[in-house]
Amino acid sequence: MTSVVPARDTRVSLNAAQREAVEHFEGPLLVLAGAGSGKTRVLTARIARLIEHHGVAPAHILAVTFTNKAAGEMRARVAYLLGEEPSGMWIGTFHSIGARMLRREAPLVGRTPAFTIYDEDDSLAVIRRIMDRQKISPKQFAPRGLRAAISDAKNALVMPAEYERLAMDPHARAAASVYHELEATLRESNAVDFDDLLLLPVRVLRENPARLAEYRQRFLFVLVDEYQDTNRAQYEFVTLLSGEHGNVAVVGDDDQSIYGWRGADIRNILDFEKDFPNARVVRLEENYRSLPPILDVANVVISGNQERRGKTLRPTRSGGERVTAVGALDERDEAEWVAEEIEARLTTERDLARRDVAILYRTNAQSRALEEALRRRGLPYRIIGAVRFYDRREIRDLMSYLKLVANPADDEAFARAVAVPRRGLGDTTLDTLAGVARRARVSRLEASRREELLGELRPAARQALRDFAAMIDRYRGRAQDASVDELLRELIQEIRYADHLRAEGPEGAERLENVQELVDGAAEVVADEGGELGLTPLDHFLQRASLIADVDRDDPNADAISMMTLHNAKGLEFPVVFITGLEEGLFPLSRAHDEPSMLEEERRLFYVGITRAERKLYLVHARSRRRNGEMLPSIPSSFLAPIPREMLEERSTIRLRATGRSVLLTTPSARRPGSPVRRVSADDIDVSASQLAPSFVKGARVRHPRFGSGTIAELGGTGRDTKVTIDFDDETIGRKRLVVAYAGLEREDD
């Protein structure tokens, strides 16, 4: 291999700021790398230059990042630049580097080098055992919630004794009691949990000065990627290793710090010069990803934050379409419009593939309507970073109840439903019941009803099974004519499923949103398709849900539209991006307005979403959205307000334009502080494209496309959420309750 040539060739392709960061040798360096500014190129070129130009041995270099994918890419690029693998250099994630260090230092933390790393399920099992020993009730304190609290403490470097002193409420005191015993229990099993891979290396370095000195001599140059995402333990690890020689180069973007909710501290990057006073600061502002109209919007949006170093992204390409801001009627209309627009672009742009399109949203619960809209059009999709809506644990829990109500012989549904939430029935009891049912050749639900089959079980277990069976039978009777959303609401309340999820801590809150989305979706399904003869509302709902859940699993490399939360989009890029649900209370989340730092993190998350787009960006918001079973009005996100009108192409869906004589334009320009509310009369609406809905009154004669003629018996709700109860002339159909917006009704007296 010829020396210095690879590094010299790399430098030729660098811009001035990138070259400054690569050529910096000794001393601290902070690289503020804007989105799409080529930070990976800078990191790898810098490593290659240290080795080729300055003669630094690879074994003296430590490079740390956050994902295995990023670490693998970094290693491959460095090997390409050098013409060979950098033998002896440590490149990896914080957790993999921590594990590697702990293998070497295992005796210092009471382990052997063969220690086991526990995953989440293993960790929960340990916590449950400790809770059992300490007589801490899992009904009062969910093991998952206690684990989350202990995880937060470890990542903040809060040790058990300190945590115990700080514990002020019953949940914190329960977590402190478990945390106090956890380390000894793990040590006895020669195991560590995932958080220990950060905590224990810091302990080794703090408590063993000789070992710290050796590691500082070993790693003379430390490089850290995504520094804005470091938590307390990661920050301490970096500063301990590099604090003496100061040869630390950190690369990150304070404008993309979006993980404060899991312990990341933006002050680590904002205060870098306080830790390293002689640091050189380099800003990478040339963007190689997005076209100018997208970057113009990104720069305006992020300028609203106060807690930032300040930089402006500059495009390296010219041209491009304006960003499109779209108003929709509700989340269903939003989803239909997005699917239709994707279909249109795929048809007209031959160079655009489905894999080039991404749909982003703030919460996982928003995926349901979007998934259904894509499926109706036969557009394949894949969800990144999350399971499909109907495969999520909390949805599967509740669906198991509905399946059992619809089909009492479904033993698989019984096994899941009877176990969640726990009702005092252990695995031994349920195994015994399964054996009894098998021998009697009846379903498990039927066996639960029959006292003569339960003699092997203790009285409390027999009563719990009888109560469960009676509950299912009661809902089976209700399901003959009740709507599915009503059934679900009653069921969730009766089994106290919301309390069950809340006990899990922060993760439970998002699961609860998914549960509400299931209820909202159930309210739409039957009304949407006008009902289907021979099926109860519950049958119809389960059939529809099964078809969606049974879509073939998408290959990660398949030509499919990508769907994900904005958090999961970080680090990715797509030619065409839709950001949906841009409404106050949803994005930003309503609670963010109570805490300035959280509001700024929400704005950074929006900025991350914007900068994923390469050539076209859509910003979509709905005029109303179903929340807690009600269709509630929405206003566009406050994040849209500062964007100048000339930067946007403003559009609205056909259904929004057809909502009445006075339509409030849901566009950012209509809501700027100090600007008057702008209304459009019916004369400005394209009525030819969307006829206004007829009015309905009690006693009116109407015709349904499937059920025929009938008379309106009851009328309720307003706007698109208006519902009618109709007595149809055909006695086999009888009385039906329908949503006017979906039913396709016509007045017979018009």
Which residues participate in catalysis according to the annotation? Answer: 39-40, 225-226, 256, 612
664 SS3 class: strand
Phi first, then psi: give them for residue 289, nearest 5 degrees.
-105, -55
- Asked if 52 contacts 79 with a C-beta cutoff of 8 angstroms, the reply is no
Q: Name beta bridge partners: 613.
A: 574
- Asked if 484 contacts 522 with a C-beta cutoff of 8 angstroms, the reply is yes
- Selection from 554, 570, 422 nearest residue 496 by Cα: 422
User: How far is it, in rounded angstroms, from Cα 737 to Cα 224?
Assistant: 60
Phi first, then psi: give them for residue 660, nearest 5 degrees.
155, -175
- Asked if 612 contacts 573 with a C-beta cutoff of 8 angstroms, the reply is yes
- Asked if 370 contacts 563 with a C-beta cutoff of 8 angstroms, the reply is yes
CB atoms within 10 A of CB 472: 21
- Selection from 491, 497, 522 nearest residue 512 by Cα: 497
User: How far is it, in rounded angstroms, from Cα 3 to Cα 205?
Assistant: 36
User: How far is it, in rounded angstroms, from Cα 83 to Cα 90?
Assistant: 18
Q: What is the DSSP string of 92-123?
A: EEHHHHHHHHHHHHGGGGT--TT-EEE-HHHH
Residue ranges of E strands in 307-356 = 314-315, 323-328
3-state secondary structure 172-204: HHHHHHHHHHHHHHHHHCCEEECCHHHHHHHHH
What one-letter code names the amino acid at 7?
Answer: A
Q: How far is CA 622 from CA 372, 542, 591, 718, in A?
A: 17, 27, 20, 17
Look up residue 276 and give its two tokens: 């390293």
What one-letter code names the amino acid at 452?
Answer: E
Q: For 484, how many CA atoms within 13 A lie in the half-sphere containing its CB?
A: 31
Look up residue 406 and give its two tokens: 């619809």
User: How far is it, in rounded angstroms, from Cα 605 to Cα 597?
Assistant: 12
Q: How far is CA 19 from CA 42, 51, 80, 133, 573, in A?
A: 8, 16, 19, 60, 24
DSSP conformational letter for 480: T
State the residue for tokens 């400790």.
Answer: 130
Q: How far is CA 658 from CA 66, 353, 580, 703, 720, in A?
A: 48, 32, 21, 21, 11
Look up residue 567 and give its two tokens: 């958090």
Contacts of 62 (CB under 8 A, 6+ apart): 89, 90, 97, 219, 221, 222, 223, 241
- Asked if 209 contacts 244 with a C-beta cutoff of 8 angstroms, the reply is no
- Asked if 355 contacts 562 with a C-beta cutoff of 8 angstroms, the reply is yes
User: How far is it, in rounded angstroms, from Cα 304 to Cα 86?
Assistant: 43
